[in-house]
Amino acid sequence: MILNVFEESSIKNHKLPEEWQSQASLDELLDFLQTNWEQRGVFYEDGKINSRQQFLTFIGQKGIRTNNYIGTIVFKGQQLNIFPKMFREDKYDSDTSNLDLKHLMRNLVVWLDYCTKISYPYISISTDLDDSTDLRDLFVSLYVRYVKAAIDHGFYYRYEEQNEDCSSIKGKIDIKDYFTKKYPNGLLNSFRCSFSTFEFDNALNRIIKYTCKELYNEASKPNQKIIRNILSRLNDVSDVKCSPHDCDKIRLSRLHKQYGIILSMSKMFLLNKTSTYNVDDTESFCFLFPSELLFEGFIGGFIAESLSGKANVRLQASDTSLVDDIIISDTSYGAAFTLRNDIFVKMVDGRCFVLDTKYKPIDRIENTVDSFIAIQQQVSIDDLRQIREYAFKRNLKAGFLLYPIFRFEDLSEPQVVLLKGNIIVEGEKHNIDVYVIRIPFIFEEDIEATKQKLAQCLENIFH
């Protein structure tokens, strides 16, 4: 069964796959998601300290509710695809019959290509992943291309500790072994030694080889071709069955930081494949991304590319504080309550801009009373106060709130509204305006056309 739903949707128990409906199965699904939640750092850092999974909300045997995470959950052979709420044609749209996982994947690839929170040091995913057949294959594609690129850059060697009997002393001799075992038995020229050798056949390469072999049968033909190339180049590495726990034992130096994501993804694949809830190797996996983080990262990356050479763009800029100083008993402890700006832009001419992305749907902006009412109802007062505080702390006269638009919306009219106002500090008024701007986020067949529309929406901010 394949079930397509939007974010923030409730699914009643009787509409779930039959294999999920019992309380025991829901408990198993919760445990499975918890394992994947704890490994989400493989792909992104969301800043959340919650120890309990946030992918789905469980409402007992009444069903489940999707949260702000998009992607795919496959459990006990049944598939749940979670689509962005902005894939709706309008806020009242509940029709999921036309949702296409390939469309979601295409958007995900574009977003990740721009998302500055996720590092892709060697590959251009927008061109390499177009042929992925499903979301899992997309991540297999990422993995094998990471591995191939790392090997192309240079084989991974590391010092491995060896313990063996030698005819001459090498490294550190085991004195106790020599006098209690070797000497009494007349083995005067045999020494038990501990020493390090610079090995290609090491623990990390064994993990990579084992992971690639495990992925081979499930991979698409293009990925199988890459895996065969990798395995041929790792031919001198021992075939050893590896577990997720083996990945935790590896410590990488700064010289080999490019292997960090490979190690993490190896662990993720091994975790998914060794789930106790799998009947076979292929029926349970979970790949979910936080939509709010994707929206922020994509817009930040798009702005950075658009202003390349003209500005410095930072995400989650945290060089200002809400409180300038904390004083206890005449002792000054300094600034506190760090402010984190979603996107901070500093132009080469010195002009600065602070922007906050708000992954929330708001109505189309038109020159009507309805839009006037909608702005008051849908733009959060807390968001307004926050962006004004950000602007004030940076001595700016304006801040910008960026909201996504739904699919297929016509952008023939500017989706911008100016909220004029001020902030009062120590009895003094400081005029700080807020611009609410609706921008495209969903890509259809003509990706370049959508990029042009987005560039036009952002152009007036930085002119």
pLDDT exceeding 70 applies to what percent of the chain? 90
CA angle, corner 295, sides to 290 and 301, nearest 5?
120
pLDDT at 426: 60
| Cβ pair 81, 4 in contact under 8 A | yes
pLDDT tens, 134-179? Answer: 667 777 887 888 888 888 878 887 777 778 888 887 778 888 888 8
pLDDT at 280: 40
Number of H-type helices and E-type strands within the chain: 13, 20
| Cβ pair 74, 284 in contact under 8 A | yes
Comparing CA positions, the residue from 77, 140, 135 lying closest to residue 266 is 140
Q: Predicted confidence band at 133 (pLDDT cuts at 50, 70, 90)?
A: low
Mean pLDDT score across all residues of the chain: 84
Q: What is the DSSP letter of 66?
A: E
| Cβ pair 355, 399 in contact under 8 A | yes
pLDDT at 276: 41
Residue 437 has pLDDT above 50, yes or no: yes
Write the CA distances from 24 to 61, 433, 449, integer angstroms. Answer: 10, 54, 48
pLDDT at 281: 38
The 10 Å Cβ neighbour count of residue 313 is 23
Q: Rounded to an integer, what distance in angstroms lies between the CA atom of residue 380 and that of residue 294?
A: 21
Residue 55 has pLDDT above 90, yes or no: yes
pLDDT tens, 201-228? Answer: 888 899 999 999 999 988 888 889 999 9
Query: What's the mean pLDDT in 103-123?
Result: 71
SS3 content of the chain, % helix, strand, coil (to 5): 40, 25, 35
| Cβ pair 453, 417 in contact under 8 A | no
Q: Predicted confidence band at 129 (pLDDT cuts at 50, 70, 90)?
A: low
Query: What's the mean pLDDT in 66-72?
Result: 93
Query: What's the mean pLDDT in 376-403?
Result: 91
Token pair belonging to 253: 């130096």
Query: What's the mean pLDDT in 341-347?
Result: 91
Highest mean pLDDT among 165-169, 177-181, 383-387, 407-411 belongs to 383-387
Write the CA distances from 196 to 159, 162, 191, integer angstroms. Answer: 6, 6, 16
Q: Predicted confidence band at 269 (pLDDT cuts at 50, 70, 90)?
A: confident
| Cβ pair 210, 239 in contact under 8 A | yes
Q: Rounded to an integer, what distance in angstroms lies between the CA atom of residue 115 and that of residue 395?
A: 28
| Cβ pair 432, 396 in contact under 8 A | yes
Q: Rounded to an integer, what distance in angstroms lies between the CA atom of residue 79 and that of residue 31?
A: 17
Query: What's the mean pLDDT in 16-22?
Result: 90
Residue 279 has pLDDT above 50, yes or no: no
Query: What's the mean pLDDT in 93-110?
Result: 88
Q: Predicted confidence band at 430 (pLDDT cuts at 50, 70, 90)?
A: confident
Domain boundaries defined on the chain = 1-130+283-289, 139-158+197-274, 307-462
pLDDT tens, 226-262? Answer: 999 999 999 999 999 998 888 888 888 777 766 777 8
pLDDT at 452: 92
Q: Rounded to an integer, what distance in angstroms lies between the CA atom of residue 298 and that of residue 457?
A: 15
